[in-house]
A and B are shown apart, each in its own frame.
Chain A
């Protein structure tokens, strides 16, 4: 589904974010985040709940004033050039409802009137599979239909860039897949998309590039495949537990960093040519390595590894703090 033709990195970026920082009281939501989005790509902003993703896109949309840093969208400043920017930037935000007794057709017509060059409302509704729901009230729509109407309202001004926040949260698997196809279709019409999500599969499936945000900080920025590859340096091998003696042998190997129990299996993590090393070492002790499986890393592993690592560092720093202090005379 990913298009092979990602525009050259040299083309001027559609969105640039430089050293963005935003704090709410004592809580720092976004801390020194920088990235740029290229024209025509699906750019993913990925992170756990509360990582600072929404704050980042709210700064891009002009809803929040950054404490520090620069944001430019299509060369415009989100706050100062609000009106011009929103003619060209479509936004679908989390937790944005419509009045309960507004009909789908009325909503689309109303929001179309806000733009200088609105899309054809009938065709847009048809594209989003909502033409049969024209006369339905907002409150009578299902979760998936509400989400599709939200997308319709974000696209109604025929924007060059669309920001879509937590698009598939709360949708059933089928509705999610339909939404994904829809987004890919929108990108194919030339719209640049910024997709905020906490689902790894969504980012892996749709995004050309992904920014991984954790605790307000940008911790990785790469193509999903590359990012998944980062975890590949750490390999996992799963096999039937070879008994006490076998485990001791494995732990003693220089290539092995950890051995963990998972039910009747053990999971060996380490680096190098792990499978060969394990099989040979067990064979030397006349033990058989049974049910050996390598576990390929995907984006989810990377995500967990990277976010856990930053968490561990902090815990370690805190725990190590007093011990690191020089002893008194």
Chain B
């Protein structure tokens, strides 16, 4: 190896280190990920560890306490938040803002930024696991994993499966909002099978157990639980986790694009399939307001601006798309109302001018169920009051 090559490699290593440090600073300045990734499990740990009834062994939990049964769940929560939420939200956001595009135009590939994000979130997860074991074991009498090797292997494979799934989300999601949506849609059921809401053993259903064993969070729970009890995790659980890691990682590598435009072209179909259920619910929750006369889109937009709270943004000429790429410019008969801090909850007003008079269709989007009772309801009311 020549001296120049060594210098070059040192510079690249320094660039990667600087990227990780910069990303860490960003995470500290906008600490949503830190709060949900570390503070939430810490809080649960303190609450459950302080209630005496939960720390006594129980027959229904196989002779261990609820608190001990919940330990693998806490560890999974520490992996789920950075893996399925923080990582894809950050990466999709960087692509949306053009940060990855800019990286592409430097000698350092955008994969450096991806690696830095991955490293940062893995470090966060590791810190969380350390926190759960350290504080739990030290202050609340949590029984630490008896099979250390099995525990380490389970943690590595669980992190692999969940972070690879997160990278898949980052690969297909065109915007931070969409990444948040898909991330949450995966998070809730996976958290259920990790036992976040209640231990799955209380259901005692064979079917639920079989589904759980086949899912990444269920298999991860089984593997971690076994290592806490002092058994080496079952080959089946480890196999499922390793399988998910390989499949999701391969899919993420195959699908990932640095640029929104490229994503738009390649994944339109994927995006449509993935958003089809949401689009269906959205259509089902659409409400109609009939109007006398024939107001223009601008008049209606003006009405909405005056009627809805100022945190809502009214954008005439835009509509929601079924793709994962957020909203798009549309004809003059569409108005988009975005709500909240993230703009994730939204409603679309479509002006339909028929022979029998004009009607307004108010369609909830983002998370359509929540938007239906939130932004879409407010929009519907304002229109109802102003026009009927």
Cross-chain contact B98 with A95 (CB below 8 angstroms) = yes
Is A316 at the interface (CB under 8 A from chain B)?
Answer: no
Inside 8 A of B94's CB, which chain A residues have their CB? 99
Q: Distance (Å) between the CB of A274 and the closest chain B CB?
A: 44
- Chain A contributes a number of interface residues (CB within 8 A of B) equal to 33
Is A286 at the interface (CB under 8 A from chain B)?
Answer: no
Cross-chain contact A24 with B105 (CB below 8 angstroms) = no
Cross-chain contact A98 with B106 (CB below 8 angstroms) = no
Q: Distance (Å) between the CB of B363 and the closest chain A CB?
A: 27
Inside 8 A of A157's CB, which chain B residues have their CB? 106-107
Is A153 at the interface (CB under 8 A from chain B)?
Answer: yes
Is A325 at the interface (CB under 8 A from chain B)?
Answer: no
Knowing A113-B15, A113-B18, say if A86 contacts B99 (CB, 8 Å): no
Is B8 at the interface (CB under 8 A from chain A)?
Answer: yes
Cross-chain contact A114 with B15 (CB below 8 angstroms) = yes
Cross-chain contact A63 with B259 (CB below 8 angstroms) = yes
Is A110 at the interface (CB under 8 A from chain B)?
Answer: yes
Inside 8 A of A206's CB, which chain B residues have their CB? none
Is B19 at the interface (CB under 8 A from chain A)?
Answer: yes
Is B353 at the interface (CB under 8 A from chain A)?
Answer: no
- Chain B contributes a number of interface residues (CB within 8 A of A) equal to 26
Per the bound structure, the CA–CA distance linking A87 and B8 in Å amounts to 12
Closest chain B residue to A118, Cβ basis: B11
Q: Distance (Å) between the CB of A50 and the closest chain B CB?
A: 13
Inside 8 A of A61's CB, which chain B residues have their CB? 104-105
Per the bound structure, the CA–CA distance linking A249 and B181 in Å amounts to 71
- Which B residues from 229 to 245 make CB contacts under 8 A with A? none
Per the bound structure, the CA–CA distance linking A119 and B15 in Å amounts to 15
Inside 8 A of B101's CB, which chain A residues have their CB? 63, 93, 95-96
Cross-chain contact B105 with A116 (CB below 8 angstroms) = no
Cross-chain contact B106 with A97 (CB below 8 angstroms) = no
Inside 8 A of A42's CB, which chain B residues have their CB? none
Q: Distance (Å) between the CB of A213 and the closest chain B CB?
A: 18
- Which A residues from 123 to 161 make CB contacts under 8 A with B? 153-154, 157
Inside 8 A of B259's CB, which chain A residues have their CB? 63
Per the bound structure, the CA–CA distance linking A92 and B8 in Å amounts to 24
- Which B residues from 62 to 104 make CB contacts under 8 A with A? 94, 97-99, 101-102, 104
Q: Distance (Å) between the CB of A116 and the closest chain B CB?
A: 7
Stretch at the interface among A101-109, A184-192, A231-239: A101-109
Query: Could you list some 21 contacts between A and B, CB below 8 A?
Result: A24-B261, A25-B265, A62-B104, A63-B104, A83-B109, A90-B105, A91-B105, A93-B105, A100-B30, A101-B30, A110-B19, A113-B11, A113-B15, A113-B18, A114-B15, A114-B107, A114-B108, A115-B106, A115-B107, A153-B102, A154-B105
A-B interface, 5 closest residue pairs, ranked by CB to CB distance from nearest: A96-B98, A91-B105, A97-B97, A114-B108, A96-B102
**A residues lining the B interface (CB < 8 Å):** 24-25, 61-63, 82-84, 86-87, 89-91, 93, 95-102, 106, 109-111, 113-116, 153-154, 157
